[in-house]
């Protein structure tokens, strides 16, 4: 078991079929921290409004988070665009057990830097009220892509091939997607500079990253739909993006049987981001 000063995870999308809940349960079982930030889109209210989907594995994730808070982990839930229905309750100082719910937070890093912790939808031009329909359309297309990817990986598994992400490949090779990511990161850095933050920790775009942008430290946690990534802060001030690779059988069985699979008995592997 690994223990960290802080763990940041985002974009779990509980309530959607794309959520890798079993992998997340394994990760949380093997990795603990003094502080845990849930950086938005934890519950996928958009998908659940269209069709109810909540298997046992998603309840298990919630239980692990609540248990961590009960055992002393300082847990903060940051609201994102998919769980924006919670923003209406912020004036009541919303709490889930021992978990504080916030629109944003400030994290004082062991490295001496002051970080803004926010989901990131505020920096996305498509989240404007007059453009939000485009975001919802894109969300539907993304979920279709995930469905195609699941079927494709069933075939790949039968051919003895490794798991492969169609969506991740398209993001990395599409110029428009790359321009959007760079624009998003630039908006985050500009905001931090104006507000006096040394850096920002966010999610939203499902691309894990750590880099400096004109003197501002930008960190993105990635997601738990495809990438299965977490941003961790070590006690000595080091930062690391962890790519969680569950046992191959877990991914294969999930693609074939859905969420009704037993707990994997083989330890998962962690691959530090390059």
The confidence score (pLDDT) of residue 216 equals 97
Domain extent, residue 103, equals 2-272
Q: CATH number for the domain including 110?
A: 3.60.21.10
The confidence score (pLDDT) of residue 248 equals 45
Outline where DSSP puts E strands in 123-233: 199-202, 209-213, 216-220, 229-233
Q: What is the pTM of this model?
A: 0.76
Reported as half-sphere exposure (CB side, CA atoms, 13 A), residue 244 has a value of: 30
The confidence score (pLDDT) of residue 159 equals 75
* Contact (Cβ atoms closer than 8 angstroms) between residue 216 and residue 113: no
The confidence score (pLDDT) of residue 146 equals 65
Outline where DSSP puts E strands in 142-238: 199-202, 209-213, 216-220, 229-233
Cα(116)–Cα(107) distance, rounded to whole angstroms?
A: 6
Residue with tokens 């991740």: 168
* Structural domains in the chain (count): 1
The confidence score (pLDDT) of residue 93 equals 75
Q: Average pLDDT of each block of 10 consecutive residues along the chain (274 residues)?
A: 96 91 92 97 88 94 95 96 86 79 96 97 63 52 64 70 62 55 88 96 93 96 91 98 68 45 38 41
Contacts of 264 (CB under 8 A, 6+ apart): 22, 26, 246, 247, 249, 250
């Amino acid at each position: 078991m690994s223990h960290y000063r802080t763990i940041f995870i985002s974009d779990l999308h509980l309530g959607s079929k794309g959520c890798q809940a079993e992998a997340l349960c394994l990760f949380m079982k093997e990795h603990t921290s003094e502080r845990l930030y849930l950086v938005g889109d934890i519950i996928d209210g958009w998908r659940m409004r269209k069709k109810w989907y909540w298997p046992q594995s998603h309840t298990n994730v919630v239980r692990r988070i609540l248990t961590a808070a009960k055992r002393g982990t300082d847990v903060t839930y940051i609201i994102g665009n998919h769980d924006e229905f919670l923003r209406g309750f912020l004036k009541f100082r919303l709490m889930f057990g021992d978990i504080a719910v916030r629109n944003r937070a400030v994290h004082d890093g062991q490295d001496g830097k002051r970080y803004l912790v926010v989901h990131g939808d505020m920096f996305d031009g498509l989240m404007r009220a007059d453009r939000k329909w485009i975001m919802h359309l894109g969300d539907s297309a993304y979920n279709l892509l995930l469905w195609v990817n699941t079927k494709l990986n069933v075939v790949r598994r039968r051919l003895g091939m490794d798991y492969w992400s169609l969506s991740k490949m398209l993001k990395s090779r599409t110029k428009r997607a790359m321009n959007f990511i760079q624009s998003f990161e630039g908006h985050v850095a500009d905001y931090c500079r104006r507000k006096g933050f040394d850096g920002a920790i966010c999610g939203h775009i499902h691309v894990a990253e750590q880099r400096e942008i004109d003197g501002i430290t930008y960190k993105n946690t990635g997601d738990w739909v495809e990438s299965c990534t977490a941003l961790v802060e070590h006690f000595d001030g080091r930062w690391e993006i962890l790519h969680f690779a569950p046992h191959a059988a877990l991914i294969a069985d999930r693609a074939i049987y859905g969420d009704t699979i037993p707990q994997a008995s083989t330890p998962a592997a962690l691959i530090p981001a390059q």
